[in-house]
Structure 1
Amino acid sequence: MNIDWAALGSVFGVSLLATVSLVGLFTLGIVGLSKQESTSGQGGGSAVMARTGAYACFALCAAAVSYGIFLIVF
């Protein structure tokens, strides 16, 4: 049995980077929604921008998860 340590390290690094990126992106979406709720009483365009940014973060998370499922299935 021969283990390719370079390939194993590469897979570990990419999976760690992808995990941290997705969690960070999802967190930004949640923060955007919470900012949208806190600024909704003040009115203005900041609430709309916060909601739009949050939805964009969630859409990117969904796209990344969908791409990962695509890679596994096909």
Structure 2
Amino acid sequence: MKIDWAALGSVFGVSLVVTVALVGLFTLGIVGLSKKESAAQRGGSGALVTSGAYACFAACAAAVAYGIFLIVA
């Protein structure tokens, strides 16, 4: 049995980077929604922050859907 260590390292590196990016993007969405609550308490609308948070969540959902597509195809 021969293991291609370069390919294994490449898969590990890409998986690590994508995981950190997705968690960071989701965290930005959570922070954006929490800023909306504080803006509402101060009397502002926070529409830009809310739309940015929803864009972060949409990007996360798109990345997950693409990953599932790659697995199925």
Q: Which letter maps to 2:70?
A: L
1:52 paired to 2:51: yes
CA RMSD after TM alignment: 0.9
Aligned partner of 2:65 in structure 1 is 66
Distance in structure 1 (CA, Å) of the matches to 2:43 and 2:26: 25
Counterpart-to-counterpart distance in 1, 2:21 and 2:43: 31
Letter in 2 for 1:39: A
Cα deviations by residue, 1:23-48 (Å, 9 ceiling, x for unpaired): 00000000000000001133345x00
Q: What code does the residue aligned with 1:62 have?
A: A
How many residues were matched structurally?
A: 73
Q: Determine the C-alpha separation between the residues in 2 that align with 1:49 and 1:43.
A: 14
Q: Runs (4+) of structure 1 moved beyond 4 Å? A: none
**What code does the residue aligned with 1:15 have?**
S
Matched residues in 2 for 1:43 and 1:15: separation? Answer: 42
Trace 1:15-26 onto structure 2 (pairs within 5 A): 15-26=15-26
Structure 2 residue aligned with 1:11:
11
Once the 2 structures are TM-superposed, how far is the Cα of residue 62 of structure 1 from its aligned partner? 0.1
2:35 counterpart residue number: 35
Identity, % of aligned positions:
74
